[in-house]
């Protein structure tokens, strides 16, 4: 760690026009710093399973994905790689589905366009037009249904003739919950614990 800091100081000196030598006093100051190597409380990176509960990191990932495909609507978002990455699907105005990966609020892969026929695009458009509740409103309803839970998956789907937002939520005690929100009314229609 000290070598890394000294290397950074050397690099800074060279970039600043210095001769590249680090004064002895600077090296001593770095080595004697009480915070180097001392464990400190840190916050988990966005998207990690231990980050703050609720829908904040989901909303951040969704916003990035929607920005990558202007005029689109989010239809699916799911954590991947132990919560580090979000796999997001959005549907454009013409019903075309686009997929991308988002990490720390930035698109890191995609968007890629799904090759679908006219029937698939029509189904996507129908689902989107039937939904009066967007992903953010659904996430808020789900967060209220499972206080302090973390949404790991949220999908706009058709169930028994109704358009619903379905979510998987992990509670602070590790229990997995499945929650459904009516996409037309915003009512929580189902909440139950899932067995793993």
pLDDT digits over 30-40, tens only? 333 222 222 32
Cβ proximity of 155 and 86 under 8 Å: no
Q: Decide if pLDDT at 1 tops 50.
A: no
Dump pLDDT digits (tens) for 60-85.
Answer: 999 999 999 999 999 999 998 878 89
Dump pLDDT digits (tens) for 127-165.
Answer: 999 999 999 999 999 999 999 999 999 999 998 889 999
Mean pLDDT, the chain, whole residue set? 77
Dump pLDDT digits (tens) for 107-130.
Answer: 999 999 988 899 999 999 999 999
The average pLDDT across 47-71 equals 74
Q: Among 8-22, 29-43, 51-65, name the one with the lowest average pLDDT.
A: 29-43
Q: Decide if pLDDT at 29 tops 80.
A: no
Q: Decide if pLDDT at 27 tops 70.
A: no
pLDDT tier at 24, thresholds 50, 70, 90: very low
pLDDT tier at 193, thresholds 50, 70, 90: confident
Q: If you classify domain 56-194 with CATH, what class do you get? A: alpha beta
> Quick count: other Cβ atoms within 10 Å of Cβ 191?
15
Smallest CA-to-CA distance from 151 within 135, 162, 133, 134 is with: 135
Greatest mean pLDDT range, 23-27, 54-58, 94-98? 94-98
**pLDDT score at 83:** 82
Cβ proximity of 110 and 101 under 8 Å: yes
Cβ proximity of 85 and 153 under 8 Å: no
Q: Decide if pLDDT at 188 tops 70.
A: yes
**pLDDT score at 55:** 62
Share of the chain above pLDDT 90, in %: 60
**pLDDT score at 195:** 53
b/e map 43-78, b = 16+ CB within 10 Å: eeebbeeeeebbbebbbbbbebbbebbeebbbbbbb
């Amino acid at each position: 760690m000290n070598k890394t800091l000294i290397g950074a100081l050397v690099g800074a000196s060279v970039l600043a026009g210095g001769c590249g030598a680090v004064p002895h006093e600077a090296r001593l100051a770095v080595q004697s710093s009480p915070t180097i190597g001392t464990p400190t409380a840190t916050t988990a990176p966005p998207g990690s399973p231990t980050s703050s509960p609720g829908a904040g990191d989901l909303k951040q990932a969704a916003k990035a994905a929607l920005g990558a495909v202007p005029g689109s609507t989010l239809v699916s978002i799911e954590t991947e790689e132990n919560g580090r990455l979000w796999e997001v699907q959005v549907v454009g105005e013409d019903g075309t589905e686009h997929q991308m990966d988002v990490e720390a609020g930035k698109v890191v892969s995609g968007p890629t366009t799904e090759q679908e026929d006219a029937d698939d695009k029509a189904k996507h458009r129908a689902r989107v037009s039937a939904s009066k509740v967007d992903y953010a409103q659904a996430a808020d309803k789900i967060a209220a249904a499972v206080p302090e839970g973390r949404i790991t998956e949220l999908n706009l789907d058709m169930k028994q003739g109704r358009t619903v937002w379905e979510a998987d939520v992990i509670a602070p005690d590790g229990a997995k919950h499945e929650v459904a929100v009516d996409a037309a009314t915003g009512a929580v229609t189902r909440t139950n614990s899932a067995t793993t």
